[in-house]
Amino acid sequence: MHNVSPASRREEEEVRAAAAGGAAAGGAPGCRHVRPSDPGPASLGLPGFRMPPPADIVKVAIEWPGAYPKLMEIDQKKPLSAIIKEVCDGWSLANHEYFALQHADSSNFYITEKNRNEIKNGTILRLTTSPAQNAQQLHERIQSSSMDAKLEALKDLASLSRDVTFAQEFINLDGISLLTQMVESGTERYQKLQKIMKPCFGDMLSFTLTAFVELMDHGIVSWDTFSVAFIKKIASFVNKSAMDISILQRSLAILESMVLNSHDLYQKVAQEITIGQLIPHLQGTDQEIQTYTIAVINALFLKAPDERRQEMANILAQKQLRSIILTHVIRAQRAINNEMAHQLYVLQVLTFNLLEDRMMTKMDPQDQAQRDIIFELRRIAFDAESEPNNSSGSMEKRKSMYTRDYKKLGFINHVNPAMDFTQTPPGMLALDNMLYFAKHHQDAYIRIVLENSSREDKHECPFGRSSIELTKMLCEILKVGELPSETCNDFHPMFFTHDRSFEEFFCICIQLLNKTWKEMRATSEDFNKVMQVVKEQVMRALTTKPSSLDQFKCKLQNLSYTEILKIRQSERMNQEDFQSRPILELKEKIQPEILELIKQQRLNRLVEGTCFRKLNSRRRQDKFWYCRLSPNHKVLHYGDLEESPQGEVPHDSLQDKLPVADIKAVVTGKDCPHMKEKGALKQNKEVLELAFSILYDSNCQLNFIAPDKHEYCIWTDGLNALLGKDMMSELTRNDLDTLLSMEIKLRLLDLENIQIPDAPPPIPKEPSNYDFVYDCN
């Protein structure tokens, strides 16, 4: 251990940097601190030669308030308590058990036996009060009679509660109960002071709720332990029209967590909070408050019993939630951030999932009410031709007429069309869509039915069969019945423009299907081909994220069957694999260059870095961390961020490092350590597909969940390239195909319209004489 006493701030910074410098090969002169027992270069008989430091020794700088930092070599084999005692002895501090080490960066996390392996060469640590002592002191300070002292204590508590080590100690002192009591009684206790000390009171409550949220986020305490009085108090903060933004935000976050983590609390929260009380928060201008508000609505929606969900949906419709979100969120004059996009996606999924019950309900052929829907479809289509109910025609004649009409309507079973709706999915949902189309778009419905009934049998587009298959296809596209993904942000603005958006979506697509059928001149044998083309048209139009249903309709107008053929032809040409031997040989020659180009692109992207979201199964919130590769491709820099960054994050602001040389392997999906844990989030298929981990040292790992599939491919490719392994992602295959195709086409431009032979031309016979050869000398 060595004391360093620089004479200026500049020298102090040099001392801090020396901890990192000592880890480099050889180190700068004067920066290497060797223990007396270590053999020096001379003792080895090798002038200038330095032994590499042992793997268990890390060089760090340690700070203590009011003293100059120390440089120290920490032996990771020693107990942490022995290291802390050694540090305390160096500064002549007694009672070393009252002290602890923590990171000196913005996180201030304590060093424990569990996380000490994360200490790297060059880390700056701070000697500080132990978590138990700190928790005890703060537990007493937040009960101070002095408002200023209490406020300062709550501010410190809100900051320290992010650390799980401190949180455990504070919770052991029954700290959560103390905070809930303060929230429950705080308003009354300081009601008289509130008028004269309103800012102070607001800050106290804000810090109290922040500390509570952070402590609960560690999952140490069950949510089921809270009283009705506490829930009522939190709900009252949300229900008040004028409330401090930070208090409102944390209150909404607490309510969301209560609903998601406890069935009993869901029922209590549902009694205290109404949709009508949440709506005003959506009409404000603060997007974070809007996001938390929609998150609470989603949580109530998600946890509601099946019989309550439709009732809740009706309340949302009455309160015009959709139009409020459309006006104040989607069409507001500001960009929608990722968290808001996720919550809108969740709301979209939960709304469409209300259709699952009808989608999985078979039609009962004996149910007269259900049969009446089919009669209504027939009546609307053939009203002019139908006979009045009191017709004197025979029953046989009427049955014959019905059978004929049901055939014109395109049902598979002409005698009893009810049998067409016994398949689930789409079940009764298909019949609901057909009736909606017939009633709300009557002219289009009649035109399609009569138009097809007048065609030759083999060219008619069967409306009934088409509607059933189309409904099933749309349910698959929108994933009706599936739970929302934890990472997806894929919401469609157009579904927020109409109260019956799925039915309107169907009406547009059934007209598209009829149009495409005519363009393809299809027969009944081509039914599946037509459905494939329609699916492609719908999917391509949806990827453009149209802002309204009319815009979606316009996109489909431009995606005619002819246009789809052109797109397919273009894609086929771009991906065409020329099979002639000369082209294959050229491909083989070019491929290593292209792979090297892809490798460089992947590494460049790693150097730029990516912001990753920290996901939490208990409470979804904006917690980010950033990771990037150093320009020399030797080190991965990473660290936590307070918010999503705008652009690149500098290396020096990322606290942690991982040398590439220490990486043992990269694993993906189910093989990742963080995917083997139990929990709702871990079982999510989409999260599983985006997960990868870096394994290093003995039992250490760096866990990732990529923001999307593209970033997942970029990072797994880049890391494999760093380890000298093949890049196996789907993105690499697509890039290789595209770049190879482009390069070959560029090289063959001069050979356009010239047929390339499969075999090289034969070598000509030798000439009879060589008189044509001239000696230039």
**Is the bond preceding 425 in cis, omega lying within 30 degrees of 0?**
yes
Torsion angle of alpha carbons 433, 439, 441, 442, nearest 10°?
Answer: 130
What is the per-residue pLDDT for 276?
Answer: 86
- Between 406 and 30, name the one with better pLDDT: 406
Taking residues 652-671, report their average pLDDT. 87
What is the per-residue pLDDT for 616?
Answer: 60
Q: Is 159 exposed, middle or buried (0-12, 13-18, 19+ CB in 10 A)?
A: middle
- H or E segment to which residue 472 belongs: helix 463-477
What is the per-residue pLDDT for 687?
Answer: 79
What is the per-residue pLDDT for 693?
Answer: 92
Predicted confidence (pLDDT) per residue in 221-274, tens digit: 989 888 889 999 999 999 887 778 899 999 999 999 999 988 889 999 999 998
pLDDT greater than 60 at residue 585? yes
d(CA 669, CA 680): 15
Q: At 4, is the pLDDT very low, low, confident or very high (cuts 50, 70, 90)?
A: very low
Taking residues 590-612, report their average pLDDT. 93
8 Å CB contact between 313 and 357: no
Arithmetic mean of pLDDT over the chain: 83
8 Å CB contact between 126 and 102: yes
d(CA 230, CA 268): 11
What is the per-residue pLDDT for 259?
Answer: 93
Cα distances (Å, whole numbers) of residue 466 to 502, 513, 519, 539, 560: 16, 8, 16, 18, 18
What is the per-residue pLDDT for 186?
Answer: 62
What is the per-residue pLDDT for 680?
Answer: 39
Give the least confident one: 134-138, 187-191, 663-667: 187-191
Predicted confidence (pLDDT) per residue in 722-744, tens digit: 999 999 999 999 999 889 888 88
In the chain, pLDDT over 70 holds for what percent of residues? 84
What is the per-residue pLDDT for 27?
Answer: 35
Q: At 28, is the pLDDT very low, low, confident or very high (cuts 50, 70, 90)?
A: very low
pLDDT greater than 70 at residue 390? no
Give the least confident one: 414-418, 527-531, 597-601: 414-418
**Is the bond preceding 29 in cis, omega lying within 30 degrees of 0?**
no
d(CA 460, CA 411): 12
Which residues lie across from 700 on neighbouring strands? Answer: 696
In the chain, pLDDT over 90 holds for what percent of residues? 49
What is the per-residue pLDDT for 123?
Answer: 87
Cα distances (Å, whole numbers) of residue 558 to 264, 321, 396, 530, 699: 52, 33, 48, 17, 56
Which residues lie across from 124 on neighbouring strands? Answer: 61
Give the least confident one: 104-118, 186-200, 473-487, 752-766: 186-200
Predicted confidence (pLDDT) per residue in 334-380, tens digit: 889 889 999 999 999 999 999 999 999 999 988 898 899 999 999 99
What is the per-residue pLDDT for 453?
Answer: 81
Kind of pairing between the strands at 57-63 and 124-129: parallel
Is the sign of the CA dihedral 646, 652, 656, 661 positive or negative? positive
Range 50-56, long-range pairs (CB < 8 A, 24+ positions): 50/26, 52/25, 53/23
What is the per-residue pLDDT for 147?
Answer: 86
User: How many CA atoms within 13 Å lie on the side-chain side of 345?
Assistant: 20
d(CA 489, CA 343): 8
Can you give the pTM of this predicted structure?
Answer: 0.73
- Between 461 and 11, name the one with better pLDDT: 461
Closest CA to 662 of 29, 117, 169: 117
Locate 137 and state its tokens: 């002191």
Give the least confident one: 382-391, 504-513, 521-530: 382-391
Locate 501 and state its tokens: 């958006």
What is the per-residue pLDDT for 595?
Answer: 93
Q: At 203, is the pLDDT very low, low, confident or very high (cuts 50, 70, 90)?
A: confident
Angle at which helices 306-318 and 287-303 pack, to 10 degrees? 140
Closest CA to 352 of 448, 491, 452: 491
